[in-house]
Amino acid sequence: MQRQTTIAKANEIQRKWYVIDATDKPLGRLASQVAQVLTGKNKPTWTPNVDCGDYVIVINCEKVSLSGNKLLTKKYYNVSGYDGGLRTRTAKEMVEKYPEEMFERCIHGMVPKGRLGRQIEKKLFVYKGADHKHEAQKPEVLEFKF
């Protein structure tokens, strides 16, 4: 008896919308679960060269938790390309001023690089606060246990 491997086709994929509340969830653990949903690795039809994932809305991203002393020791770097153009921010600054960017950067490190990864990242929507503008898509609430 020979088994058949199913290969997902881009036009046959059924996508869902999920909303996730990031309040008091560890940043890395939440991001890895969100990355799995975005890439579709939680589905039995996952195919490595096709975007099989679902849309994810993350709310309350400013309330995410970091363990240990990471608020003060973890650094985020940007380089402009000019001499002396290195800008360094701590995780505390990122949580206070740019929580959406911090979460998106975390997800960026967990999705494939290249054209497929950029396509997957477009399905992530991160918001500060509990309000989002995707009510028309009727997102389902998704809970993770840590």
Q: Is residue 7 part of a domain?
A: no
Q: Is residue 41 part of a domain?
A: yes
Q: Is residue 31 part of a domain?
A: yes
Domain that holds residue 122: 16-141
Give the pLDDT of residue 3. Answer: 76
User: Residue 119 pLDDT > 80, yes or no?
Assistant: yes
DSSP string, 59-88: E-GGG-B--TTHHHH-EEEEE-SSTT-EEE
What mean pLDDT do residues 56-79 have?
Answer: 96
- How many distinct structural domains can be found in the chain? 1
Give the pLDDT of residue 17. Answer: 98
User: Rounded to an integer, what distance in angstroms lies between the CA atom of residue 101 and that of residue 18?
Assistant: 20
Q: Is residue 2 part of a domain?
A: no
Give the pLDDT of residue 4. Answer: 81
User: Residue 146 pLDDT > 90, yes or no?
Assistant: no
Q: Is residue 10 part of a domain?
A: no
User: Rounded to an integer, what distance in angstroms lies between the CA atom of residue 50 and that of residue 40?
Assistant: 9
Q: Which helix (H) or strand (E) holds 21?
A: strand 17-21
Residues in the chain, total: 146
User: Residue 87 pLDDT > 80, yes or no?
Assistant: yes
Give the pLDDT of residue 145. Answer: 87
Q: Is residue 4 part of a domain?
A: no
Q: Is residue 27 part of a domain?
A: yes
CATH number at residue 133: 3.90.1180.10
Convert the pLDDT of each residue in 6-62 to its tens digit.
888 989 999 999 999 999 999 999 999 999 999 999 999 999 999 999 999 999 999
Mean pLDDT computed over every residue of the chain: 95
Q: Beta strands 55-59 and 124-126: pairing type?
A: parallel
pTM above 0.75, yes or no: yes
Q: Is residue 131 part of a domain?
A: yes
